Amino acid sequence: MVVATPNKTHVAVLSSPGLGHIIPLLELAKRLVIYHDSHVSFLNITTTESSAAQDHLLRSPSLPNGLDIVDLPRVDVATVCSPDIPIAHKIGVIVEESLQSLKSLLIDLGKPKALVIDLFCTQAFEICSQLDIPTYLFFTTSTAFFAFCLYLPTLDHEVEGELVDLPEPIEVPGCTPVRPEDLADPVRHRKTDDYQLFVLLSSRFPLAAGIFLNSWDDLEPVALKAIRENTFYKQIHAPPVYPVGPLVKQDEPLSSKDAEYLAWLDKQPSESVLFVSFGSGGTLSTEQLRELAWGLELSQQRFTWVVRPPCDTASGTFFNVGSELNDPKTYLPEGFLERTNALGLVIPSWAPQTTVLRHPSTGGFLSHCGWNSSLESITHGVPMITWPLYAEQRTNATFLTEEVKLAIRPEVERGKTVVRREEIERVVRVLMEGEEGKAIRCRVKELKDSALKSLDYGGSSYESLSCVAKQWRLN
C-alpha cells in the first residue's frame, strides 16, 4: 500500500503498454510531482513481454521522490493473445486483462483524487465512477488525431464502405482534412478488430472529466481552436481540453555503452549528424533496410542509426524492444560497417534518443514520426525527414511536412513500397546541406523557443496543468 504524502494531492496515472505511451505519461507524472504539489502513483501494466527499455526507464534512480511505480499483476501475453493479433487489439486485450485488479488497487491506494489514463484504458471510466474518482484522459498523440477520433463514431455511422476508399479527403469539423491514404492503421479496414476497438474507444472519450493533450497552441492552433469552438464538439459533449505539452523525456538513464555513443558525437562537427531511428517499435523489411544503408552511405553525410534486425511487420519490436538478439553485422549489407566507419555510428536496438537529439552535433532526424519523437525533435530544434511506418504516423508525417513545414518526405515510386537508395541519398543531402534544409532548421528553432516558453512557469501549458491540479486539490 502506498502512503500518500501529507499536504500533497494524491493522483494515479495509468498507461497502456508501449513506450510511446509510458514515456509521456511518466513525464506528466513527474511534472505533477515536481511543479504541482502532487504525489503520484504510476500504475504500470506489466506483461510477460515487458521490454528491457521499459524496465530501465521505470526503475531509474532519477525518478523524483513522491512518484511511486506500482506494478499491476503481470499478464501472460501468450495465454490471452494469439501470435498474429494486430497491435491495437493486442494492447486492448492486455489492458482489459490487467485492469481486472484496478478497482481493488485504487481502494488499496486510499482512493486517489483523480486518475489519469491513456486512450487504451477507457474501462477505467466505469470503475472510477463506482469509486467516485474523476478520470482524465491523456491523449498521447496529436490534437488533430484526437479531433479525428472524436469525429470517428459519426463517420462510422454516416459513411458506407471503407474510409480509405473515400474519393475526397475527410472533412473533420474545423480541422485540416485528412487524406484517405493518410488514415491511421486501425481505422483503415472496417471489418478488423482494431477498427471496432478504435470506434469504441473514441465513443468513450467524452466520458472523461478532461483531456490532457501533448501539444500547445503554437504547434496546433487549428485543431485546438476547432475542439474549443466548433459546434460539432459541443454537440457531442467533448470534455474540456488542456494542452500541457510538449511533454518529452527530460532525462534518461545512460549506460556505459550510451556514454561511448555520446563520446563519438562529441567528436563530430556542430549540426552535422543525421540521427536515424524508428521509435520503440519500428522495424524495416530486409529490402528496405538494405536500401536505407546504401542511401546513407551514398549521401556521404554523418549519421547515427538505431538498427534492428529486419522484420516483415513494421511494428516488430513494439512490445519487447531491447530484449531482441541484435548483431548488425548479420543483417546490414556486407562491408557497410567498415566502409562507413569514419562517418557513421550504428547503435543496436535502442539509443538515448533525447540525449542524442539535444547533442550539438545532431543536425537532422530521420524519424518514423511517432508523436513523441516528433515533439522531441521540435523541442531540440532538429529538422526531420519523415518515414512513417504504422499507427497514425502517416497523419503526423503529413502534418510535419505540409502544415508546419518542419520536415521533408522521401518519395516512393508509384506502385512501390520501398524507398530507393537514390531517393534516400537525395533527401539526406537536402536536409543536411541544402537550402531547403536550412529554411526548415530556422523554422524548427522558432518553434523550439515557443515550446520552451509554453512549459515555463506562466506559459500556456504550465498554466493548463496547474489549473487542473488546483481543481484536484480543492476537491
Which residue in the list 36, 39, 118, 380 is annotated as catalytic?
Answer: 118
CB 119 within 8 A of CB 140: yes
Minimal distance, residue 216 CB to ligand UDP, in Å: 17
* Spatial contact of 164 and 191, defined as CB atoms under 8 Å apart: no
**β-strands 135-139, 210-213: how paired?**
parallel
Looking at the Cβ atoms of 379 and 454, the one nearer to ligand UDP is 379
Give the active site residue among 21, 39, 89, 359.
21
Nearer to ligand UDP, 17 or 210 (CB): 17
d(CA 351, CA 7): 39
Phi, psi of 226 (to 5 degrees): -60, -50
Per the annotation, the verdict on 359 as an active-site residue is no
Single-letter amino acid code for the residue at 275: F
CA dist 11 → 41, 66, 307, 340, 390 (Å): 6, 11, 38, 50, 33
Round to whole Å and give the CA distance between 69 and 58. 7
Closer CB to ligand UDP, 134 or 370, in the complex: 370
| Residue 39 appears among annotated catalytic residues | no
Query: Which one, 209 or 357, has the nearer CB to ligand UDP?
Result: 357
Beta carbon nearer to ligand UDP, 18 or 86: 18
Strands (E), 361-419: 362-367, 384-386, 407-408
Looking at the Cβ atoms of 9 and 317, the one nearer to ligand UDP is: 317
Instruction: For residue 242, give the 3-state DSSP assignment.
Output: strand
As measured in angstroms, the least distance from the Cβ of 29 to ligand UDP is 15
Q: Buried (b) or exposed (e) across 431-452, using 16+ Cβ within 10 A?
A: bbeeeebeebbeebeebbebbe
CA nearest neighbour of 19 among 456, 354, 401:
354
Q: Which residues of the chain form contacts with ligand UDP (CB under 6 A)?
A: 18-20, 23, 249, 277, 279-281, 306, 350-351, 353-354, 370-373, 376
Cα(280)–Cα(191) distance, integer angstroms: 28
Q: Which residues, in sequence order, are CB contacts of 4 under 8 Å at separation 6+?
A: 10, 39, 110, 112
d(CA 239, CA 255): 42
Query: Which residue, 251 or 436, is less far from ligand UDP as judged by CB?
Result: 251
Q: What's the grid cell of residue 171? A: 472533412
d(CA 355, CA 353): 5
The C-alpha atoms of residue 59 and residue 145 are separated, in whole angstroms, by 31
CB of 271 to ligand UDP, least distance (A): 19
Least distance (Å) between residue 181 CB and ligand UDP = 20
Least separation in angstroms between residue 19's CB and ligand UDP is 5
Q: To the nearest whole angstrom, how small is the minimum distance from the Cβ of residue 405 to ligand UDP?
A: 20
| Cβ-based nearer residue to ligand UDP, 24 or 134 | 24
Cross-strand partners of 115: 12, 135
Min CB(304)–ligand UDP separation in Å = 10
Residues annotated as catalytic (active site), given as ranges: 21, 118
